[in-house]
Amino acid sequence: MRIAAALLTLTALTLPALAQDTPDAAVAGTKQFEMTVLADGFGAPWEISWGPDGWLWLTERTGGKITRVNPADGTKQVAIDIEEVSAPGGQDGLLGLALDPGLLQGTGSDYVYAAYSYVDKSREKHPWVADAFSPYANLFVKIVRLTYNEADGTLGEPLELVAGLPGQNDHNSGRLKIGPTDGKLYYTIGDGGKGQLGNWCIPIETQRLPTADEIAVPDYSAYEGKSLRLNLDGSIPEDNPEIDGVRSHVFTYGHRNMQGIDFAPDGTLYASEQGPKTDDEVNILVGGDNYGWPHVVGFRDDMAYQMARWDLATTPCDQLRFSDITIDPSVPVTDESEWPEEQHDPIATLFTVPSDYNFTDNACNGIDFICWPTVATSAMQAYFPEAGEGIPGWENSLLITTLKRGSIYRVPLGEDGQTVSGPIERYFQSENRLRDMALSPDMKTMYVATDASGLVGTMDGGAGTTLQNPGAILVYTYTGEGDGNVAATTDQPAAEQADAAAVTDGIAPTFTAEQATRGKTTYDANCVSCHGPDLISANYGPPLAGPYFDGKWPGQTVGALYAHTHDRMPPSRPASLGDETYADLVAYMLQVNGVAAGDAELPADRDALNQMVIPN
């Protein structure tokens, strides 16, 4: 059903003033677009493609569905609901989608390829997961081939191509494409978020390459931080690069979180990759090459980055407090220039800053990463229209969707497609997380899928938790030239959900130390990858302690905090942990925020919790 929405001309808007000069080296794009909302209510869209049937094909990460959407009126048709999909966190579930070039071409190849995480307890649990009952202990990824039935618009007959790929609680990447010149499948796997946040004591293994013995098993644990190249039956292509004496599915290595890949018509493979605090990268992938992570981010310039080996700290790692900003003296660090190996340099970064850049901008109120100079690249569309078609002046470009700024960046390329030929342009500003993009056949309309939840930069230059168009498909249609200022989806910020009214009367909350300890165990198993080990250094969810908590929760009832936690967490399966378990989580949060434990446990009864007030 088409969403009733006014047609908005994307008018010029001055960039918001930040607390320090923005690192955004992009210039404002001059093209103008109109925006409509085609459809919404999707379960966390991840990949969107224009199909040969003239419909949009979409994966719903947490919904486990592949859904077809009519671009004329927003009508939805679920092609398949994959019950095997497991999505316990924020970056797993049903991910990549690729349509076979023979789909609906009368060739007998009416196939669709999909990648998703699933639970397989017949395999050994991941060694980096301490808790055998963690939802990630036996989480793996597989790629399957599905057959499309044109008569009823459904997908079925799943054929497993490869299984047992690394499934992780962070940085799964998960883009899936088919090469236009070689007909091979390409798939990206991230570093699992190792060496940071809740995984800060786990070594990053993006430089580890598979051995011949591992491939013979097969054991794909060394595929973290790699791009893969597969035959359409899942086997290893004979012309794959031989790296360190072994031929495997691995095409390139040394990647952090490569969520965007796309091909030029000549087969050049472009990629966008998320950096840590700086240097999201735009790369050209060349088989067998090393892209540097974690030794180098962006260029080897020793600017605003050192590799920190928390796992090798002289003080036991689990006794340290992880920080993106201040590295404990017991943690070994190395500059980028100290790494002796060769790396394939990016063609551009978004964005590089000097080492004295302030990474704790007060404008973001404790959600510091939103104000960092990275833009959180999420997907990439190679833009190579035929002569005389498409948007004038956009020929030979890369279009990159981003998660933090609600913007699309255009990277102009030279005629050879190997270099950047001018300044990067920025289009649109909204309080949305733009996840992926598909183009209409005339290449003048962009269909952009948005995240259903998450943190985002606000219109005033700060950070927010409420999205304008969650879980939607936005349509941007080219209308002509503009005046060079950044176009905004709307000048209205997302409507913040009203906090519960503060109360002046109430009793103090009570919980036991044992209950808070149980809460920490649950937090470490289910929440740490989004909110950070200290409840403050969060990259995917709002901080649960520190200045952000102090500005939001004191004076409200414990019942409001309990309801917020119970009814929303974890994002892919809210209210799934049990009422008492959520009470344990709230007890742990209260303890971390300075509330002293007592003799009675915090109850799971909402009426009782509504009588308790969080102290100032």
CA distance 445 to 441: 8
Quick one: pLDDT at residue 3? 39
The answer to whether the CB of 130 falls within 8 A of the CB of 136 is no
Strands 408-412 and 425-427 come out as antiparallel
Task: Tell me the helices (H) and strands (E) count for the chain, helix number first.
Answer: 7, 34
What is the mean pLDDT for each group of 10 consecutive residues in the chain (616 residues)? 40 36 69 96 96 98 96 97 93 97 96 97 92 91 98 97 96 97 98 91 97 97 98 98 97 98 97 96 98 97 95 92 90 96 96 90 80 93 93 96 94 95 92 97 97 89 90 96 57 52 72 93 79 68 77 89 86 81 94 92 94 91
Strands 456-457 and 56-60 come out as unpaired
* Residue 290, CA distances (Å) to 285, 298, 343 in order: 9, 13, 5
Domain boundaries 8-487, corresponding CATH code: 2.120.10.30
Contacts 24+ apart (CB under 8 A), 545-554: 545/589, 545/592, 545/593, 546/366, 547/365, 547/366, 548/365, 548/366, 548/367, 549/589, 549/593, 550/593, 551/365, 551/366, 552/499, 553/593, 553/614, 554/614, 554/615, 554/616
The domain segmentation of the chain, as residue ranges, is 8-487, 513-609
421 phi-psi bin (left φ>0, alpha ψ -120 to 50, beta other)? alpha
Q: Is 126 a catalytic residue?
A: no
What contacts 469, CB < 8 A, 6 or more positions away? 37, 40, 430, 432, 450, 489
In this structure, what token pair is assigned to residue 56? 């949009």
CA distance 565 to 27: 40
DSSP secondary structure letter of residue 198? G
3-state secondary structure of 172: coil
The string of DSSP letters for 327-375 reads: --TTS-EE-GGG--S-----SEEE----TT--S--GGGTT-GGGGSS--
The answer to whether the CB of 127 falls within 8 A of the CB of 136 is no
- R_g over Cα of the chain: 24
The answer to whether the CB of 100 falls within 8 A of the CB of 178 is yes
DSSP secondary structure letter of residue 15? P
Nearest to residue 198, comparing CAs of 549, 534, 520?
534
Nearest to residue 584, comparing CAs of 608, 571, 565, 570?
565
Bond prior to 133 in cis (omega within 30° of 0): no
84 phi-psi bin (left φ>0, alpha ψ -120 to 50, beta other)? alpha
The answer to whether the CB of 141 falls within 8 A of the CB of 119 is no
The answer to whether the CB of 448 falls within 8 A of the CB of 46 is no
Examine domains 8-487 and 513-609 and report if their fold is the same: no
pTM for this structure? Answer: 0.86
CA distance 274 to 524: 24
In this structure, what token pair is assigned to residue 330? 């017991």
Instruction: Please state the separation of Cα 160 from the chain's center in Å.
Output: 25
Catalytic residue among 171, 295, 531, 566, which?
A: 171
Superfamily of domain 513-609 in the CATH hierarchy: Cytochrome c-like domain (1.10.760.10)
Residue 98's beta-bridge partner residues?
113
CA distance 130 to 424: 44
